[in-house]
Structure 1
């Protein structure tokens, strides 16, 4: 049966990838209760400035901060989404914690997928280069790629330079933008653009197949904080501050 959406992966595989990412959204939202919201200590000094300078209510500000935490988690899942999409292309497979993210079945290509170009520090970059170089040395016909799905330009070039004071270079280690990598593995210049264009309708199609119970649930952090506010008669930000810093001098009197 002919695909409706993309010609380089099946509709079934596309919907599986969308479903997996949707499940990640649900889990991220369901997991943001008060305990998890407070895990990394909320900067209530910043929240105070945000509410005043941006003229936002305390409740809306806390909700925005919860959504920021959720968004940070979801960004990590988007790299996995691209791994799954690319792993469904004929002749390629996903690594599934095997040390690589994408591999050509004939061992002529290995790739590590990053959703954004600026997600690695120098130590991570050095470790990644060494890993890709090791694949290139082991598999003599393999080209190895650091893939930046969302890069600051379109490119496919050798990856060489100085990392942590050491010079790195290899004839078969490359860095490549997302559009160029999709082109490389599909043989279609606009493969990444095709994915972008069909996503709205494909997501709508997928969502229509869901039962109501499968829809994204609201996080509980704000409602839990609201319950505490009713009991304590504090402002929302005072309650968040007290919950996070009761051991600071003077804060126990909030």
Structure 2
């Protein structure tokens, strides 16, 4: 096993994590058919402003809108990417739906990893604290962490305070920022920064090895382009017609 990119995980494991995330992107794009793209109605008035004010051609505009729609599922996959990266460090393993995202193989650490600090409401936060406290009570030597990969500050601190009107605290339940958690798990001060720095090169190296036929287009855009060509409408007019032809005057779009 080689360590060309990072000292704390192998190149093979890094490419495994990148490949899994790449597959999530491809799956998300492939799942956006024209029918799904239109499901919540496209705001073509906003898209008109976007096109003119942001100087975007119509094809780029629609690609941007499709990417916006798949962004939520990709954000979830980014969280999984971090879990898998950290699970490749010696002495740690991912949960695989066992109730935790990451743990030390000797049960001295359990973690729940969120990509962003603001992804939970109060009920979710209460449930998470109770889960981490339960791990801490079950494993008497374990420290348990709520990990915020993208946090407001760099920190590692005990998690206590009021949640849903109740006071919560535990001597071994913590919250921690992404940089501090990467440092804790890897033993390397700048581990998260090091990952960030090598990603462009590692992703490019991974993609260069992929077969061209594995590349996926946006099926929604392909379908819109075909129907636009057939109707002789512009792309934006075609989307407007297909979404609002029942509105007064919109059935006359050319």
Normalising by structure 1, report the TM-score. 0.88
CA change 1:252–1:130 in 2 (3 A) is farther
2:18 counterpart residue number: 18
Return 5+ residue gaps in structure 2 as ranges: none
1:225 counterpart residue number: 224
* Alignment RMSD (CA, Å): 2.3
Instruction: Measure the CA separation in 2 of the matches of 1:2 and 1:59.
Output: 42
Return 5+ residue gaps in structure 1 as ranges: none
Normalising by structure 2, report the TM-score. 0.88
- Output one character per residue of 1:21-72: Cα deviation in whole Å (capped at 9) or x when no partner: 1111222222222122123332334324433444544443222101222333
Counterparts of 1:163-182 in structure 2, within 5 Å, are: 163-182=163-182
1:34 counterpart residue number: 34
**Corresponding residue SS for 2:140:** coil
**Corresponding residue SS for 1:71:** helix
CA change 1:251–1:165 in 2 (3 A) is farther
2:101 counterpart residue number: 101
CA change 1:250–1:159 in 2 (3 A) is farther
TM-superposed CA distance for 1:195, in Å, is 1.4
Instruction: Measure the CA separation in 2 of the matches of 1:244 and 1:65.
Output: 15
Contact 2:2 2:12 in 1 (8 A): no
Q: Does 1:195 align with 2:195?
A: yes
CA change 1:52–1:203 in 2 (3 A) is closer
Instruction: Measure the CA separation in 2 of the matches of 1:77 and 1:89.
Output: 19
